[in-house]
């Protein structure tokens, strides 16, 4: 008879250096199991840390059995302007990459990432580590972004 996968609850704490501290609910309470600089690695850190914490093999912690809560980071707020500074290793030739573009960010809690609307290319999802939350925008960027957002609001 196969072992039943363990259900794991984890939470991210946003660190001042913009890394993600991963905390898992253990038998004695919440435990820090690892830190990563990549949103894509959070679930893996939670799985590996849970296996260590509970003293079980990794296959007992199925990815679909890991519930990770990622709160909005303190350094970002809904509606603020950002600049896309990285695409990570996820961009492919088919992806539209707005590297360097200014946009407006809104928190998408379900993904633990941001919807970023960029003038001329629309909205994409970006993790916090790919964004500059204190960008210096040119007058041209500000004007273009305001016009684009105003047109989008009128279409609703």
- Check if the beta carbon of residue 46 is closer than 8 Å to that of residue 10: yes
pLDDT at 62: 85
One of 2.10.25, 2.30.30, 1.20.58, 1.10.3470 is the CATH number of 81-154, namely: 2.30.30
- CA atoms of 97 and 79, how far apart (whole Å): 21
- CA atoms of 57 and 48, how far apart (whole Å): 9
**Angle in degrees, CA 5, 109, 96, rounded to 5:** 105
CATH code assigned to 8-69: 3.30.730
pLDDT, tens digit, 9 for 90 and up, residues 48-84: 999 999 999 998 888 888 999 999 999 999 999 999 9
Q: Map residue 72 onto helix, strand or coil.
A: coil
Over range 106-118, report the average pLDDT.
94
Over range 114-137, report the average pLDDT.
94
Q: Please report, for the chain, the start and end positions of each structural domain, with discontinuous segments joined by +.
A: 8-69, 81-154
pLDDT, tens digit, 9 for 90 and up, residues 15-29: 999 999 999 998 889
pLDDT grade, residue 2 (50/70/90)?
A: low
């Amino acid at each position: 008879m196969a072992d039943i996968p363990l259900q794991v609850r984890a939470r991210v704490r946003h660190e001042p250096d913009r890394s993600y501290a991963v905390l898992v609910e253990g038998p004695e309470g919440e435990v820090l199991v690892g830190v990563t600089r990549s949103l894509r690695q959070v679930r893996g850190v939670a799985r590996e840390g849970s296996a260590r914490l509970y003293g079980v093999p990794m296959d007992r912690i199925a990815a679909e059995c890991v519930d990770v809560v990622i709160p909005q980071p303190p350094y970002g707020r809904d509606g603020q302007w950002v600049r896309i500074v990285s695409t990570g290793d996820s961009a492919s030739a088919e992806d539209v990459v707005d590297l360097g573009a200014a946009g407006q960010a809104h928190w998408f809690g379900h993904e633990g990432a941001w919807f970023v609307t960029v003038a001329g290319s629309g909205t994409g999802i970006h993790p916090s580590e790919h964004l500059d939350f204190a960008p210096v925008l040119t007058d041209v960027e500000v004007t273009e972004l305001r016009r684009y957002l105003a047109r989008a609001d009128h279409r609703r």
